[in-house]
Structure 1
């Protein structure tokens, strides 16, 4: 093995040089090996894409969880404000009734 060049690089170069020959010029075992190597590369690509999509999906799940938490906080705050408003309306109504009873 040449220094600085991993086995994968050497086998890739060999596969590429063999793949440039017409398939009829190669023996059936070499053709099979080339096809297996091509399928292995496709599988690696698909696995990488799947991993990337899994990461994107996880990121989206985190965003959804954060938005649900934010929504829950906003609903809670809105409920609190509504209760405060109802209490103020009740106080104003009672105050108005008290003033009317004085007349």
Structure 2
């Protein structure tokens, strides 16, 4: 599998924010995120693609892919290395299966 990196914002139902870099990959119909803290991957989240809602792309100020899952809003910011395109293509492929 290809492992990509992106800057991710997560806003939960209580409006608490988490911001940080995460590696992500697609494994068996799920998007797996591993958040970076220093040299360690400290938090891992697995999101079944079929449970993603409100998938959208905003290209007004650079590419942003966002979606909702489990009462949280996820925003992936593209740094210019194609991670948003990779994310979008794989989520679309997974939801069409």
Q: What is the TM-score when the length of structure 1 is the normalising length?
A: 0.24
Which is bigger in relative contact order (C-alpha 8 A, separation at least 6)?
A: 2
**Larger proportion of strand:** 2
- Structure index of larger Rg: 1
Q: What is the TM-score when the length of structure 2 is the normalising length?
A: 0.25
